[in-house]
DNA sequence: GCCGTTTTCGGCCCGACTGTTTTCAGTCG
């Protein structure tokens, strides 16, 4: 974990621990700070270059929190955090992960029943001890037990790829109701965040009861968490909650704005509304009790002096300022990719033939595709040794001729970067290829210095066109490798090498924050699916979403170029 | 604890639903 992530986690936990004890306002400051640190550049670097003052330039970080960051950088711990955790065992904080348990309940369970962990809480609930507490009853005791079960089953937030599919299914089933005249996803799903905590759906309907009855009895509903006439909430069998809101047409835009979020974006927008003498909620923008706007998002933002911002960048990370000043980025459109440049076939660990992958690319409407099977050292993935590589190139060249006029087929490779930064094909083989993606597949735990040197060396190889999945992370499963991105960005730019935005839902690598930093530095990107079968090519949507979340424009992504221009680009 | 077209003190987003309540606190998004 990077220092930023470590500090963010500590601040976030401190916010919870303070809130448990009923401390006013501080928790919000710590929560804001956690987010700010997470989104900021490397704090170690900021501190080294600009000292405490530079840290205080991070919005949300004042003198006191800057000192805590410095304390952590220097001594590896924060005294005040240690004191807080001494008072409250970490198990008490863990209880807050149970659905329906927040800071106040966790605190009371600990204070009044001396419960220190989720396991102890489960025992106490089963023994019927919770219902004896004031404000608790048999129902809440049962809900806590169910919440513990759900927590045990769940593996963290759901991947966008899966949640997107679930969202489509729910919307598809609800659309069958003639009582629903409009339906849209909201929340993190609409923002296309890499992981999704719950699926939000908004509808316009004249018959809320029918909608709610249908929604709460959909085939994959495990249990109903709440059911009202304007809002209902269910837990899906897949372990993720889904929420629905029923609205009137005059409020739909307001609700869409409100429920798309994110929370920080909304708070900032509502503060602007207040300053201008309005009130903004999910029903509209009001002056006193008079509705000023609400039908569409555009009209609400317009009254506030803002241009509508694409949902993917509504994170309160600079988009509101850009919206105010008319400097919003022109984000890369979802239909702008002209070719997939990272694909696998049966020759290594893919499941389709080379020709099937080419046909799939044609169906995607692409101008070009690169076939990039694994290299020698990837034994588990049946990586191609030099002899098979040349045979495969031969096959690709034949198919290139066969499909000439329909699509341009590039002979490529995903060549592994060895621990010392060398590549596992010699240059004389790389020379035979049209397109080379270089990726790290081993020795993930190298130090930041070693890993950075390793990747930079690969970038400097004259045959390398792109670096595949540059952080190697697998969401919810594997930490990214430790890399100094400022150096990788500089090397990539200097050597005209693109950094991949890998669209595979488990990867989504680079992350949105890396992309944003790279875009600012003028780095070029390539959005690929890393398809291991023909269906995976559809993942491109998630890669484009990730690029959009990183404020990337068409010009920042090389495989938006039509073939003639792309050909010139790779023959640089 | 942070922040400033409300500027160094006094604010800090807003509402639905639930459970256990006789009017509301807690949780969630």
List protein-proximal bases of chain B (any atom < 7 A from a CB).
1-3, 5-6, 11-21, 25-29
CATH of the domain at A540: 3.20.20.140
Whether A332 is covered by a domain: the verdict is: no
Q: What is the mean pLDDT of residues A355-365?
A: 97
- pLDDT per residue as tens digits for the range A102-119: 899 999 999 888 999 999
Q: Encoding tokens for residue A80?
A: 């005040």
A380 and A477 in a common domain? yes
CATH of the domain at A107: 1.10.150.110
A69 and A92 in a common domain? yes
In the predicted structure, residue A571 carries a pLDDT above the cut 80: no
Q: How far is the CA of A139 from the C1' of B19 (A)?
A: 8
A447 contact partners, CB below 8 Å, separation of at least 6: A482
| Last-in-domain residue among A291, A324, A357 | A324
Q: How far is the CA of A71 from the C1' of B2 (A)?
A: 19
A469 and A566 in a common domain? yes
Q: How far is the CA of A546 from the C1' of B6 (A)?
A: 39
In the predicted structure, residue A531 carries a pLDDT above the cut 90: yes
A162 and A147 in a common domain? no
| Last-in-domain residue among A297, A324, A351 | A324
Q: How far is the CA of A135 from the C1' of B22 (A)?
A: 14
A314 contact partners, CB below 8 Å, separation of at least 6: A191, A260, A261, A262, A265
The per-residue pLDDT for A181 is 93
- List the single range of A184-198, A321-335, A379-393 with lowest mean pLDDT: A379-393
φ/ψ of A369, rounded to 5, equals: -145, 145
| Last-in-domain residue among A106, A125, A153 | A153
**pTM, whole model, 2 decimals?**
0.84
Whether A80 is covered by a domain: the verdict is: yes
Q: How far is the CA of A515 from the C1' of B21 (A)?
A: 51
Q: Encoding tokens for residue A416?
A: 């592994």
Question: Which nucleotide's C1' sits nearest to the alpha carbon of A109?
Answer: B26
The per-residue pLDDT for A156 is 65
Using DSSP's 3-state secondary structure scheme, residue A315 falls into coil
- pLDDT per residue as tens digits for the range A447-472: 889 999 999 999 999 999 999 999 99
In the predicted structure, residue A572 carries a pLDDT above the cut 80: no
Whether A333 is covered by a domain: the verdict is: no
A473 and A438 in a common domain? yes
A317 and A271 in a common domain? yes
Please, where are the H alpha helices in A436-511?
448-460, 485-494
Question: Which nucleotide's C1' sits nearest to the alpha carbon of A66?
Answer: B1
Contact A354, A371 (CB under 8 A): yes
Quick one: which residue's CA is nearest to B16's C1'? A231
Question: Which nucleotide's C1' sits nearest to the alpha carbon of A141?
Answer: B19
Q: Encoding tokens for residue A440?
A: 């790290």
Cα distance between the two ends of chain A: 37
In the predicted structure, residue A91 carries a pLDDT above the cut 70: yes
What is the rounded CA–CA span in Å between residue A498 and residue A504? 17
Quick one: which residue's CA is nearest to B28's C1'? A100
Q: How far is the CA of A142 from the C1' of B24 (A)?
A: 22
A89 and A168 in a common domain? no
Whether A63 is covered by a domain: the verdict is: yes
CATH of the domain at A319: 3.30.210.10
A509 and A428 in a common domain? yes
Q: How far is the CA of A462 from the C1' of B23 (A)?
A: 74
What is the rounded CA–CA span in Å between residue A278 and residue A497? 49
A370 and A438 in a common domain? yes
The percent of residues above 90 in pLDDT, for chain A, comes to: 68
Whether A240 is covered by a domain: the verdict is: yes
**Domain range holding A196?**
158-247
């Amino acid at each position: 974990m990077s220092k930023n992530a470590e500090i963010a986690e500590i601040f976030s936990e401190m916010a919870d621990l303070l809130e448990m004890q009923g401390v006013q306002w501080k928790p919000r400051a710590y929560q804001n700070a956690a987010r700010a640190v997470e989104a900021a550049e490397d704090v170690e670097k900021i501190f080294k270059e600009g000292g405490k003052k530079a840290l205080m330039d991070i919005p949300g970080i004042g003198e006191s929190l800057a000192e805590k960051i410095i304390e952590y950088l220097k001594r590896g711990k924060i005294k005040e955090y240690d004191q807080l955790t001494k008072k409250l065992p970490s198990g008490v904080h863990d209880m807050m992960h149970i659905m329906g348990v927040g800071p106040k309940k966790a605190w009371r369970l600990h204070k009044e029943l001396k419960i220190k962990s989720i396991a102890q809480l489960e025992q106490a609930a089963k023994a019927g001890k919770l219902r004896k507490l004031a404000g608790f009853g048999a129902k809440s005791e049962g809900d806590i037990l169910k919440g513990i079960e759900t927590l045990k089953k769940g593996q963290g937030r759901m991947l966008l790829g899966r949640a997107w599919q679930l969202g489509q299914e729910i919307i598809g089933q609800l659309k069958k109701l003639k009582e629903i005249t409009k339906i849209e996803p909201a929340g993190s799903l609409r923002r296309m965040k890499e992981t999704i905590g719950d699926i939000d759906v908004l509808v316009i309907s004249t018959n809320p009861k029918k909608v709610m009855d249908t929604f709460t009895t959909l085939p994959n509903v495990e249990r109903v968490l709440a059911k009202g006439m304007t809002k209902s909430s269910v837990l899906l069998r897949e372990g993720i909650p889904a929420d629905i809101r029923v609205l009137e047409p005059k409020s739909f835009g307001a609700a869409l704005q409100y429920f798309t979020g994110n929370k920080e974006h909304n708070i900032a927008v509502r503060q602007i509304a207040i300053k201008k003498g309005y009130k903004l909620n999910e029903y509209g923008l009001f002056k006193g009790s008079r509705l000023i706007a609400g039908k569409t998002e555009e009209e609400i933002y317009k009254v506030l002096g803002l241009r509508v911002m694409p949902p993917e960048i509504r994170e309160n990370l600079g988009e509101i300022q850009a919206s105010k000043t008319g400097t919003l980025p022109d984000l890369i459109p979802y239909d702008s990719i002209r070719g997939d440049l990272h694909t696998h076939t049966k020759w290594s660990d893919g499941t389709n033939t080379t020709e099937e992958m080419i046909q799939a690319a044609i169906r995607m409407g692409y101008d070009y595709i690169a076939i990039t099977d694994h290299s020698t050292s990837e034994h588990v993935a049946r990586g191609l040794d030099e002899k098979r590589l040349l045979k495969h190139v031969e096959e690709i060249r034949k198919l290139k001729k066969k499909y000439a006029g329909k699509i341009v087929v590039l002979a490529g490779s995903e060549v592994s970067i060895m621990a010392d930064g060398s590549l596992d094909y010699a240059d004389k083989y790389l020379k035979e290829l049209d397109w080379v993606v270089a990726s790290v597949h081993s020795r993930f735990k190298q130090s930041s210095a070693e890993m950075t040197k390793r990747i930079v060396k690969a970038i400097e190889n004259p045959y390398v066109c792109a670096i595949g999945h540059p952080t190697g992370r697998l969401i919810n499963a594997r930490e990214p490798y430790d890399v100094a991105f400022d150096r990788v960005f500089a090397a990539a730019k200097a050597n005209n090498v693109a950094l991949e935005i890998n669209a595979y839902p488990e990867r989504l690598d680079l992350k949105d924050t890396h992309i944003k930093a790279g875009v600012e530095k003028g780095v070029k990107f390539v959005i690929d699916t890393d398809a291991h079968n023909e269906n995976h090519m559809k993942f491109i949507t998630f890669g484009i979403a990730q690029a959009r979340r990183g404020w990337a424009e068409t010009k920042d992504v090389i495989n938006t170029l039509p073939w003639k221009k792309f050909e010139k680009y790779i023959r640089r």
